[in-house]
Amino acid sequence: MDSLRIEATSCSPLIDFDPAAGLLRIEGESYPENSFDFYAPVFNWLEDYLKAPAPAVVLDIGLSYLNTSSIKCMIDVLEMLDGAHQKGQTVSVRWHYDSDNDRALDMAEEFAEDVSLPFEILAH
Amino acid sequence: MKGNELFNLQELLSRQKLLICFSGPFSHSVIEELGKAVRNHLENERIEKSAIMDVFSVYVEQAQNVRNYTASREALGRPIPANSGIVVIGKEDDHYVVSSGNLVEADDVPGLSAMLEKLRGLDKAGLKAVYKEQSRKPREAGASGAGLGLIDMARKATRPLEYSLRAVDDTYFFFSLEVQL
């Protein structure tokens, strides 16, 4: 399976998914012109990947701001990973946030409420 | 624009203690550039990062709502009169107010006002419940948003959302929305 890499822009995050290492990074800010178009390749890649993922998969997120349509996309990404977790695969989330940005922490906590997979929230 | 009209317009704007006012075609690049300018300005004011992000995110939701609504009507072959959208960020005493205005089709008025009245009647816990419910709904095919924008603004606001809907002609109403932070 090929890796997936989409470079960051000022309004869309870096996507860097390494299938062999099981490390999926999303980093930056997310309020693209059309969130669903932007995240479509992410959904497609994950759907394929989760059929035969690495022994341990970590979604490493450093998103300081998401607009509401990106939030919806992230909920969908987390649900896909949560589904894999519920099927017995080893999947976890590490959510990084800037300690002076309370809103980023609130957001991370709300995402964590809706999933059952291990979800670590780390201040920097 | 004639000099005295420009003077009157500028006077009206400065009385409102505006940070920014934009009226014209809402392209993504305009939304992005104005957003950056607002953030830079607020960072120089040395206000808390969370307050900056609240102003910025309400601005983005409003501007993208105006833009997405305009684009959706265009896609239906019913383009809205050009450049009828406006977004304004101002300061009242020590807090920020983010407002937007745009033309909406008369048929959309009942649904829009019902939604806003519902949100106005909810407390923080109620708004969170509505937000969670909406965020779990499957995306509508072809929709450009997730239907979360107004709920998110209501959650960030310190007071109930203020809005007005005024008939412009048989086809359109002018919808205004004011979010106090």
pLDDT at B11: 87
How confident is the prediction for chain B on average, in pLDDT?
A: 91
If residue B153 lies in a helix (H) or strand (E), which one and from where to where?
helix B149-156
pTM of the predicted protein model? 0.93
CA–CA gap between residue A43 and residue B64 (Å, rounded): 23
Helices B124-136 and A68-86 pack at an angle, to 10 degrees, of 70
Chain A residues whose beta carbon lies within 8 Å of the beta carbon of residue B144: 34, 36, 69
Model ipTM value = 0.91
- A37 to chain B, minimum CA–CA distance in Å? 9
pLDDT at B48: 87
Helix (H, G, I), strand (E, B) or coil at B172: strand
User: Could you tell me whether strands B162-167 and B95-105 are parallel, antiparallel, or unpaired per DSSP bridges?
Assistant: unpaired
As beta bridge partners, residue A60 has A25, A94
Taking the CA of residue A28 as centre, how many other CA atoms within 13 Å lie in the half-sphere pointing to its CB? Answer: 17
Residue of B nearest to A11 (CA): B32
- A12 to chain B, minimum CA–CA distance in Å? 11
Residue of A nearest to B156 (CA): A103
Question: CB–CB of A69 and B50 under 8 A?
Answer: no
CA–CA gap between residue A22 and residue B176 (Å, rounded): 47
pLDDT at B81: 85
Say yes or no: A72 contacts chain B, CB-CB below 8 A: yes
pLDDT at B26: 87
Q: Which of B56, B132, B148 sits opposite A68 (nearest CB)?
A: B148
Residue pLDDT tens, chain B, 181 long: 788 899 998 888 888 788 889 998 888 999 999 999 999 999 998 888 889 999 999 999 999 999 999 999 999 999 988 778 999 999 988 899 999 999 999 999 999 999 999 999 999 999 999 999 999 888 776 666 778 999 999 999 999 999 999 999 999 999 999 999 9
Residue of B nearest to A78 (CA): B136
C-alpha torsion angle, residues B26, B29, B30, B33 (rounded to 10): 150
- Which of B31, B53, B119, B150 is the best residue to mutate to test the A interface, defined by the most A CB atoms within 10 Å of its own CB? B53
Chain A residues whose beta carbon lies within 8 Å of the beta carbon of residue B136: 75, 114
| Residue ranges, chain A, pLDDT below 70 | none
Say yes or no: B38 contacts chain A, CB-CB below 8 A: no
Q: What is the DSSP string of A23-53?
A: EEEEEEEE--S-HHHHHHHHHHHHHHHTTS-
Q: Which of A34, A72, A103 sits opposite B50 (nearest CB)?
A: A103
Question: Going edge to edge, which strands form the sheet with A23-30?
Answer: A4-6, A14-18, A23-30, A56-66, A90-97, A119-123
Say yes or no: A124 contacts chain B, CB-CB below 8 A: no
pLDDT at B82: 75
